[in-house]
Amino acid sequence: MIRLIDICKNYVVGDTVVKALDKVSIDIKDNSFTAITGHSGSGKTTLLNIMAGYTKCDEGLYLYDNKVVNDFDSKMMTDFFRNEVGMIFQEFHLLPYLNVYENIRLPLIYQKKNIDKSFLDKQLNMVGLKGYGNFRPDQLSGGQKQRVAIARTLVSGVKVVLADEPTGALDRKNASNIVKLLADLRNYGVTVVIVTHDEKIASQAERVIVLENGHVVSK
Amino acid sequence: MWLVSNIWYHRHQFYLNIVANAMAVFLILMVSILSDNVIKSIDEQLGNLGLNVTMLQMFSSDDVNDKWFEDFINEFDIETASVYFSYNNDDHVVARCDADLGRMFSLQLRQGSFLDESDIQYNNNCTVLGSKASEKLGVSSVGDKVSINGISFKVKGILEESDDNLFVDVNESVLIPSGYDFGNNVVNRTYYFINNGRYIDGYLDEVLGEGNYLLINQSQLVNTTSLLTEMISNVLMFIASVSLLVSLIGMINSMLSNIRARTYEIGIKKAMGAGDNDIYLEFLLESFIVFTLGTLVGWILIIGFAGIINLSGLMSIRIDYYQCLSDIVKLLVTGGLCGIYPAYKASHITIMDAIRKV
């Protein structure tokens, strides 16, 4: 489903050019659970951002379902975010002025879909937050916020979930629960790619890709 | 609904915008309403007095030569009404007048009738009272008797209260036939009703000598006053518009700062599938709602202000609601347009901008 061929990404810092990714080639299969790991600065987040479509690579080809993502225009990218790929962030990024129901419903608003409350309750049930619909983010723990973020990502029916250090702000127990939740998404036909520097979490994935200095050293 | 939640959450950033907009809108509407009322008041006085009423004041204490007077009237085809004013201790004005005075000044009667030709010819003991004069003299109906300088007069008519005009304080006046002379005249005035509209200054200069008289054409005076009032109104409107402009610039600046502060929120919404147009419309609508709230507050302030002024009796303010609605619609359109640039900037924030912000 996802093919990255000889992806290069550079950042210009003053007069210095920093190679974040150097000819990275990866294939991610449908319905798989993949972990991308490596030290800080190895290019994990940059790779994930390219896969999410948030930034474009300087060289190389990004194919999603055999479509060239590099050539997507603004409208196509918006459709890509709405229907294909969802991101879970380390900092959760829930909107503080919306309650849990409204946060989860946000992608559906932009898809112009009217969904009733029972569907939202089903999503909450799926992530283990039954009855929390009217809570505001500041009333939730870190683990609960991340669950809401996962529900928000899934509600629009995306096929791929990308997670950038989803357990970075959580304690060990909550981190373990979140990783388990992400792993269970395969049962719903979702492909999961998780970026982490924690090898213990990475080991729970079916496949681990190791990056070092912008290169793939292990697939 | 979530847009309302959004505005409520960021309300601390919008308070000052709403207050500034409200003050600017209040100023604009106040200038518009006040100048409109003043101009209408002048127009009403103009309507009450007639366009061609002219005041001629003689500086000489001698009476006008009758022959000259006849020639003058014939020359210019004018009607005249002479009034001799005097003041007594009761602080009302006794005015000896002709029967034409009521017609020339469009005096409206509350009760009874005005002095007629036979009253003037036979010097009948009858009087017409202004509204305030009747109250001071304790007269409430036609037929009552009043004493003026020791002579008993029968009340023939009581006038409606009218706005002060430039020449006659009608409300305080006690009008009696011109044949009575109590010997304490203060001002002699002759009012001309010019039918052919010819300019008479040149004629009077030749006959009376330049500087021996004062001729004031009332319509000229009122026109000048109207022009002055309009000019002042335009200046005040300009100042109020500048105030509005400053408020709008402040609002745009505040919105841009707000958008910078909400970069991550915009980025996250885009990650959730919001398109550029979705973000653009959201922020445009937000600015419009904030501006509308400010306009609404300004509108409430102006209604309160008009009510207080009317209650105080300082002046009578009438609000032309259609005009106000038109002004408000223009203000709302202006406010909406001001939201375009900030909304455009918001729509061009990328997801990477948001991620880098965090």
Taking the CA of residue A73 and the nearest CA in chain B, the distance in Å comes to: 12
> Which of chain B's residues have a Cβ under 8 Å away from the Cβ of A83?
273
Which domain range does residue B29 map to? 2-45+224-357
Query: Are B249 and B299 contained in the same domain?
Result: yes
Query: Are B178 and B240 contained in the same domain?
Result: no
Taking the CA of residue A16 and the nearest CA in chain B, the distance in Å comes to: 19
Q: How far is CA B332 from CA A116, B20, B22, in A?
A: 35, 14, 12
Q: Tokens at residue A110, please?
A: 């932009």
Q: Which residue has the higher pLDDT, B177 or B73?
A: B177
Contact B9 A97 (CB under 8 A): yes
Taking the CA of residue A110 and the nearest CA in chain B, the distance in Å comes to: 5
Domain count, chain A: 1
Q: Tokens at residue A38, please?
A: 């490596």
Contact B9 A82 (CB under 8 A): no
Query: Are B38 and B90 contained in the same domain?
Result: no
pLDDT band at B88 (very low <50, low <70, confident <90, very high): low
Query: Are B41 and B159 contained in the same domain?
Result: no
Q: How far is CA B184 from CA B84, B90, B136, B167, B174, in A?
A: 10, 14, 21, 20, 15
Query: Are B255 and B166 contained in the same domain?
Result: no
Q: Which of A89, A98, A110 sits opposite B278 (nearest CB)?
A: A110
**b/e per residue, A130-168, with b = 16+ CB within 10 A?**
eebbeeebeebebbbbbbbbbbbbbbbbbbbbbbbbbbb
Contact B273 A54 (CB under 8 A): no
Q: Which of B2, B264, B358 sits opposite A102 (nearest CB)?
A: B2
Q: Tokens at residue B54, please?
A: 């002219």
User: What does the alpha-carbon distance between residue B57 and residue B77 come to, in Å, rounded to a whole number?
Assistant: 19
Interface check A103 vs B, CB under 8 A: no
Distance of CA B76 to the CA centre of its chain: 34
What's the pLDDT tens digit per position in A119-152? Answer: 889 888 888 898 999 999 999 998 899 999 999 9
pLDDT band at A33 (very low <50, low <70, confident <90, very high): very high
What's the pLDDT tens digit per position in B313-324? Answer: 777 778 878 877
Q: Which helix (H) or strand (E) holds B345?
A: helix B340-347
Q: Indicate the residue type of B322.
A: Y
Sheet harboring A2-13: ordered strands across?
Answer: A16-28, A2-13, A59-64, A67-68
Per-residue pLDDT, A140: 92
pLDDT at B156 over 70: yes
- B29: buried, middle or exposed (CB in 10 Å: 19+, 13-18, 0-12)? buried
Per-residue pLDDT, B212: 77
Contact A97 B278 (CB under 8 A): no
| Nearest Cα residue in chain B from A81 | B273
B89 assigned to some structural domain: yes
B242 assigned to some structural domain: yes
pLDDT band at B204 (very low <50, low <70, confident <90, very high): confident
Contact B274 A97 (CB under 8 A): no
> Mean pLDDT over residues B194-216, rounded?
70
What's the pLDDT tens digit per position in B275-303? Answer: 999 999 999 988 888 888 888 898 899 88
- Most confident among A43-52, B97-106, B250-259, B284-293 (mean pLDDT): A43-52
The mean of the pLDDT values for chain B is 79
Beta strands in chain A (DSSP E): 2-13, 16-28, 33-38, 59-64, 67-68, 85-88, 160-164, 191-196, 207-212, 215-218
pLDDT at B198 over 60: no
Pairing of strands A207-212, A215-218: antiparallel
Q: Which helix (H) or strand (E) holds B87?
A: strand B78-87
The mean of the pLDDT values for chain A is 89
DSSP string over A111-141: TT----HHHHHHHHHHTT-TT-TT--GGGS-
Contact B358 A81 (CB under 8 A): no
Per-residue pLDDT, A9: 92
Contact B264 A93 (CB under 8 A): yes
Interface check B270 vs A, CB under 8 A: yes
Are B190 and B167 a contacting pair, CB within 8 Å?
no
pLDDT band at B238 (very low <50, low <70, confident <90, very high): confident
| Nearest Cα residue in chain B from A95 | B265
**b/e per residue, A72-96, with b = 16+ CB within 10 A?**
beeeebbebbbebbbbbbbbbbbbe
ipTM over 0.85: yes
Contact B350 A54 (CB under 8 A): yes
Interface check A101 vs B, CB under 8 A: no
User: What does the alpha-carbon distance between residue B164 and residue B313 come to, in Å, rounded to a whole number?
Assistant: 15
Number of Cβ within 10 Å of residue B165's Cβ equals 18
> Which of chain A's residues have a Cβ under 8 Å away from the Cβ of B271?
52, 54, 81, 87, 93
Q: Which helix (H) or strand (E) holds B86?
A: strand B78-87
Q: Indicate the residue type of B22.
A: A
pLDDT at B35 over 80: no
Contact A95 B265 (CB under 8 A): yes
Contact B275 A74 (CB under 8 A): yes
- Chain pair A-B, CB pairs under 8 angstroms: 61
Query: Are B228 and B352 contained in the same domain?
Result: yes
Interface check B61 vs A, CB under 8 A: no
| Nearest Cα residue in chain B from A89 | B355
pLDDT band at A34 (very low <50, low <70, confident <90, very high): very high
Domain count, chain B: 2
Q: Which residue has the higher pLDDT, B172 or B358?
A: B172
Which domain range does residue A17 map to? 2-218
B293 assigned to some structural domain: yes
Q: How far is CA B281 from CA B255, B336, B339, in A?
A: 14, 11, 10
pLDDT at B105 over 80: no
Kindly report the CATH number assigned to the domain that includes residue A36: 3.40.50.300
> Mean pLDDT over residues B109-138, rounded?
89
